[in-house]
């Protein structure tokens, strides 16, 4: 495994928005890249099995050239019907969505879709661990917001309430995700604390 530059065999699907990894600093990597590197580490260290789901593509035309691989010549991006990441940790089903915002004061709920909330509510009802990772790019801070704490804001928005959650509220109700050299977005540490320790808030 060629780590930590993110070219290990478990690191799937290079993203179009890939930027240079400037050494050990967290700067310059997107949230998605950081999470992918983290998941690759978790997998190699046998801590958890979490994968990003492939981008859903509606395939319309495929060309089959002789002696070489099939080429998709017409396809369209589809709206994902669930969340981006899921997997298994400490016998529990894990499911989450990751969102990055450049906003300094709030996280706009327009970043999430109704059907994703429906999915997240089902996950919680069936005993899964479900959450949102929100990065405030300006502060280079990523927060872990348990799904159960997201739902009241969503429901309020649907009833004419605010269309965003303030940065302050996320700081209060969420958990700042610690940086770890190999697990750059070390969200399992938050899961350990919040779901597996007895002192759940």
- Where is the binding site, in residues? 82, 84, 97, 116
Binding status of residue 54 toward a second copy by CB under 8 A: yes
* Residues in a beta bridge with 57: 77
Q: What is the CA radius of gyration of the chain?
A: 18
Nearer to a second copy, 126 or 180 (CB): 126
Q: According to CB under 8 A, which one of 119, 135, 149, 184 is a site residue for a second copy? A: 119
CB 160, min distance to a second copy, A: 26
Binding status of residue 160 toward a second copy by CB under 8 A: no
Q: Distances in Å between the alpha carbon of 28 and those of 6, 52, 172? A: 14, 20, 27
- Binding site for Mg(2+), by residue number, is 82, 84, 97, 116
CB 59, min distance to a second copy, A: 7
Q: How far apart are CA 50 and CA 86, in angstroms?
A: 6
Biggest distance spanned by C-alpha atoms of the chain: 62
The angle, 0 to 180 degrees and rounded to 10, between the axes of the packed helices 114-125 and 147-158 is: 140
Please report, as ranges, the residues that interact with a second copy according to CB under 8 A: 9-10, 12-13, 16, 43, 46, 48-49, 51, 53-59, 62, 69-78, 81-82, 86-93, 95, 119, 122-123, 125-128
């Amino acid at each position: 495994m060629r780590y930590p530059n993110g070219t290990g065999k478990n690191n799937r699907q290079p993203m179009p928005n890939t930027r240079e990894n400037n050494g050990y600093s967290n700067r310059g990597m997107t949230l998605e890249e950081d999470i992918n590197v983290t998941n690759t580490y978790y997998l190699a260290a046998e801590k958890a099995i979490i994968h990003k789901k492939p981008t859903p593509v509606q395939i319309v035309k495929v060309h089959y050239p002789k002696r070489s691989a099939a080429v998709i010549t017409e396809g369209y991006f589809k709206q994902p019907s669930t969340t981006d990441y899921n997997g298994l940790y400490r016998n529990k089903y894990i499911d989450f969505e990751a969102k990055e915002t450049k906003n300094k004061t709030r996280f706009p709920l327009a970043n999430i879709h109704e059907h994703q909330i429906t999915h997240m509510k089902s996950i919680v009802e069936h005993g899964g661990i479900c959450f949102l990772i929100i990065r405030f790019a300006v502060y280079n801070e990523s927060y872990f917001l348990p799904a159960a704490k997201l739902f009241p804001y969503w429901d309020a928005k649907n009833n004419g309430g605010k269309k965003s959650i303030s940065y302050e509220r996320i700081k209060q109700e969420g958990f700042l995700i610690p940086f770890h050299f190999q697990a750059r977005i070390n969200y399992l540490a938050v899961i350990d604390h919040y779901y597996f320790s007895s002192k759940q808030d």
